[in-house]
Amino acid sequence: MTAAQQEADTVTFTVAEKIAWVRFNRPDKRNCMSPALNRQMLRVLDEIEYRDDAGVLVLTGEGTAWSAGMDLKEYFRDTEAQGLAAIRESQREAYGWWRRLRWYQKPTIAMVNGWCFGGAYGPLFACDLAFAAEDAQFGLSEINWGILPGGGATKIARELLSFRRAMYHALTGETIDGRTAAKWGLVNEALPREQLEERVTAVAGILLQKNPIALKAAKDAIRRVGEMTYDNAEDYLVRAQEAANFFDNEGRKEGIRQFVDEKAFKPGLAAYDKSRQRS
């Protein structure tokens, strides 16, 4: 197998019923992120982002891991041996696809099927929603091998956890299971392993019924407003909606029409019927 083929194999994806299932595919290495995987993941995200046959992206892992974080050999030791330029390049590759995923055009769901360590908190946070197997294991393991949780992991712990929990998590390196991760707010829900895919498919189905321009505007807004004052957020949200109208001015009018004129649905309870929208 050529090096290019090996690199391409580090990530697999299928698209079915408008859901793109993207998989970390280094199960023998517990899906840890090598430079090759990071490059390939960006290519896969590129390929899926504007496809009409996919409305939601799910990120999961082959085998027993979601992702065991950065590849200690290929990402850290091998690049460090090549010097600063190689280190910076491999950081750009990793941080690049996480950033791309944070601001992805389509809503994204992390389906955490197993181990999730350190650097894997980057893509975990990048996904808009996260569902975990109850027996998945999460940890900021960096302290166990002698570094701080870098690559955004410390920021993510502070963003998603309380101060005390973030501190304990970072300093002890102890793992928590999916149930505790849900209790702490690291993921939305934890489910028995055999129900995980079914639940994620159902949530994806809910998102697929919504107006895609409104979804993109809403997910970006949730990420952006956290660092704004109330007045700045108010202004941003006015402008974000007006910008969304540029791409889809008919959707919200159709939603209002189906409710006010037709009484065909109740927006408090479900989405309008997109299929009847004139573009």
Least gap, CB of 138 to ligand COA (angstroms)? 11
User: Strand, helix or coil at 33?
Assistant: strand
Contact 180, 151 (CB under 8 A): no
Site membership for ligand COA, residue 157 (CB under 6 A): no
Nearer to ligand COA, 47 or 177 (CB): 177
Site membership for ligand COA, residue 71 (CB under 6 A): yes
Stretch that binds ligand COA, among 80-88, 139-147, 192-200, 228-236 (CB under 6 A): 139-147
- If we measure between CA atoms, which residue out of 178, 181, 139 comes closest to residue 160? 181
Q: Angle CA(175)–CA(178)–CA(181) in degrees, nearest 5?
A: 75
Site for ligand COA (CB under 6 A): which residue of 44, 58, 68, 244? 68
The H-assigned helical ranges of the chain are 3-8, 35-49, 78-82, 84-102, 121-126, 142-145, 153-160, 163-172, 178-184, 193-208, 212-225, 230-247, 249-260
From the CB of residue 214, how many other CB atoms can be counted at a distance below 10 Å?
A: 16
Nearer to ligand COA, 70 or 215 (CB): 70
Site membership for ligand COA, residue 117 (CB under 6 A): yes
- Residues paired with residue 60 on neighbouring β-strands, in sequence order: 23
Site membership for ligand COA, residue 69 (CB under 6 A): yes
- Residues paired with residue 14 on neighbouring β-strands, in sequence order: 21
Site membership for ligand COA, residue 122 (CB under 6 A): no
Site membership for ligand COA, residue 216 (CB under 6 A): no
User: Strand, helix or coil at 249?
Assistant: helix
Nearer to ligand COA, 69 or 152 (CB): 69
Least gap, CB of 117 to ligand COA (angstroms)? 4
Nearer to ligand COA, 75 or 131 (CB): 75
Site membership for ligand COA, residue 70 (CB under 6 A): yes
**Judging by beta carbons within 10 Å of its beta carbon (0-12, 13-18, 19+), is residue 8 exposed, middle or buried?**
middle
CA dist., res. 75 & res. 78, Å (int): 6
**In the structure encoding, which two tokens stand for residue 196, read together?**
């995980």
Nearer to ligand COA, 13 or 121 (CB): 121
Site for ligand COA (CB under 6 A): which residue of 10, 21, 29, 165? 29
Site membership for ligand COA, residue 115 (CB under 6 A): yes
Site membership for ligand COA, residue 61 (CB under 6 A): no
Nearer to ligand COA, 117 or 272 (CB): 117
Site for ligand COA (CB under 6 A): which residue of 73, 77, 183, 253? 73
Contact 190, 178 (CB under 8 A): yes
Binding site for ligand COA (CB under 6 A): 28-30, 32, 64, 68-73, 115, 117-119, 141-142, 145
